[in-house]
Chain A
Amino acid sequence: MSEPILRVENLHKHFGGLKAVNGVSFQVAPGEILGILGPNGAGKTVCFNMISGVYKPTAGKIVFDGQRTDGLPPHRLAALGLGRTFQIVKPFASLTVLENVLVARGIANYGRFGRIWGPWRSKDQVRAAMEVLDKVGLADLAGRKAGLLPLGNLRRLEIARALVVGRKLILLDESFSGLRHAEITRLEDLIRAIRQMGITVLLIEHNLRVSMKLCDRIVVLEHGRKIAEGKPEQIQSDLRVIEAYLGRKRRNNAAGG
């Protein structure tokens, strides 16, 4: 394994007495699609929020692209090339689709107070934003108000924004949930295309079939701990994973039947 793009070491996040994430470690190799799986409340989104800087870890270490990043605020991580989507889609509803992407395009400038007073609608900016929209298949909707898009397109818009920010790594938080079958297939193709662009993908997914097909490796969390890690076929046959997902009784039935 080459130098990992992201390394998470013994990560803890406690909310009062609740240990939402309790000693999780994993690594993501450049160009990999790594899936994080687990039942509700397993701590997947909390992990995402720590990696993207929303939460400060209670303990543990996060190294992104060779730099220690735990405790950095989200806008600093974004500037380092980490983009993310949110489980509940949150477009800037009153801005157009194009403007939503342009907000993210301003990233080179937002970090500095003095440089943000310039105009933003330059031709280059708009062209670059349109290229990204083209990649996710939203180019023809660029002028629409984002609040009017249906869910499938909103997820694409979220990914477009994340792509602009995430030059190196993007985190996708349940991008497939609530989508129809045809949309799922298109989104799978999009995520593979993103990997082709040289961007590493870390995704949280509930849909087992999708993650088995899409991911190179999978990390399974339960109750804030990592219970399995490996290639999809290894995960599929891992007893602890089956137990976590289907419950003990079903496993016994399956074993007996």
Chain B
Amino acid sequence: MHLFIEQLLNGIAMGSIYALVTLGLALVYGILRILHVAHAAIYTVGAYVGLAVFKFTGSLWLGFGGAMVFCSVLGVAIERLVYYPLLKYPPYVPLIGSIAVMLGIEELCRLVAGPYILTFPARLPFAAVHLGSVTISSTLMAVYAITALVLAVLWYITSRTEMGLAMRATSQDMAIADAMGINSHQVVSATFVLGSSIAAVAGVLVGIYYNQVYPTMGAVPAYKTLALIVVGGMGSVPGAVIASLLLGVAETLLIGYAQIPLPRDALAFIAMIAVLMWRSEGLLGSK
């Protein structure tokens, strides 16, 4: 039982991190109907920038802030320079553009920071919590708290601000939103700012969680989050969060209990294929 709870807690942390990366992808898909593969590269850049700012200033919070600002600029640059000009073509054209951007950024990270695994020697200032015999480590608490905060802020923005209303309107129909006086291009950019800064948070968090930052750290999350927005229901933000949490838990429990000699990522994809065979439209998607 004890072990089970610890596995579960780890699984939720894993899922929270997946959720943070998947959110940006779901937001972008919802508004532009583009598979934003390069999102995972933004997450990698976030980890690097966070680490650099942390080393330079010694402040982890500045690290988070710097990563968020830098990634927002990068995200908007990708949207304006790559996606927007390609929107008039069939969806595979921006998708290929996105893959190219992702590889380009990965290589750039390798050139600038070197092909090594860097360590992220920061400690997250959260207290460990003891519940009976179970201990929730400070790192886990940090992941939970930060994810909860991000989700709360995102919920507030999308459901309580005019920006959120404009975003929901724009994601349904850009032409009508325009006719209603919404500058839809600005709304799209704002979506990229949101998604990219959340990816930056995820990058820094993962860097600290595993104490590793390296150029290809975005590769596996790229595939996984793509699958996750499909499992969640294309473009559904709540669906993406639920799918991410479920995947994190399922992955961890399968590794812990099922005696299947397959690596973690293989199990993750098997789980997702199973879900899609059962519900092809995704968990919260509509047919």
Contact = CB atoms under 8 A, between A and B. Distances in A.
Interface of A: 52-54, 73-75, 78-79, 83-84, 86, 90, 92-95, 99, 102-104, 106-107, 109-111, 113, 116-121, 161-162, 165
Contacts of A84: 179
A104 B161 contact: no
B58 to A, nearest CB: 31
Given A74-B179, A86-B176, A116 B169 contact: no
Given A75-B183, A78-B181, A106 B168 contact: no
B162 A120 contact: yes
Nearest to A113: B186
Interface size class of B (residues with CB under 8 A): 20 to 34
5 contacts: A75-B181, A78-B181, A93-B172, A106-B180, A116-B162
Given A78-B178, A106-B166, A118 B183 contact: no
Given A95-B168, A106-B165, A165-B179, 18 more contacts: A53-B178, A54-B179, A75-B178, A78-B180, A79-B181, A86-B179, A92-B172, A103-B165, A104-B181, A106-B162, A106-B166, A111-B183, A116-B161, A116-B162, A116-B163, A120-B162, A120-B164, A161-B180
Nearest to B163: A116
Nearest to B189: A113
A84 B181 CA distance: 11
A165 B181 contact: yes
Interface in B122-159: 157
Interface string B184-197: 10100010000000
A92 B176 contact: yes
B160 interface: yes
Nearest to A158: B176
Nearest to B173: A90
Contact of A75 (B157, B163, B182): B182
Nearest to B178: A74
Contacts of B157: 117
B175 interface: yes
B177 interface: yes
B157 to A, nearest CB: 8
Nearest to A164: B180
A121 B162 CA distance: 8
A79 B183 CA distance: 10
Nearest to A49: B175
Contact of A103 (B160, B161, B175, B180): B180
B177 A103 contact: yes
Nearest to A85: B179
Contact of B169 (A52, A73, A95, A162): A95
B180 A104 contact: yes
A120 B165 contact: yes
Given A92-B176, A95-B172, A75 B184 contact: yes
Contacts of A113: 186, 190
B149 to A, nearest CB: 17
B187 to A, nearest CB: 8
A158 to B, nearest CB: 9
A92 B168 contact: yes
Contacts of A74: 175, 178-179
A104 B182 CA distance: 8
Interface in B241-286: none
A106 B186 CA distance: 14
Interface string B44-76: 000000000000000000000000000000000
Contacts of B184: 75
User: Which A-B residue pairs are the 9 nearest by beta carbons?
Assistant: A78-B181, A107-B181, A74-B178, A120-B162, A104-B180, A116-B163, A103-B169, A110-B182, A92-B172
Contacts of B178: 53-54, 73-75, 78
Contacts of A110: 162, 166, 180-183
Contacts of B163: 116-117
B192 to A, nearest CB: 13
A119 B161 contact: yes
Contacts of A117: 157, 161-163
Contact of A118 (B161, B176, B181): B161
B282 to A, nearest CB: 16
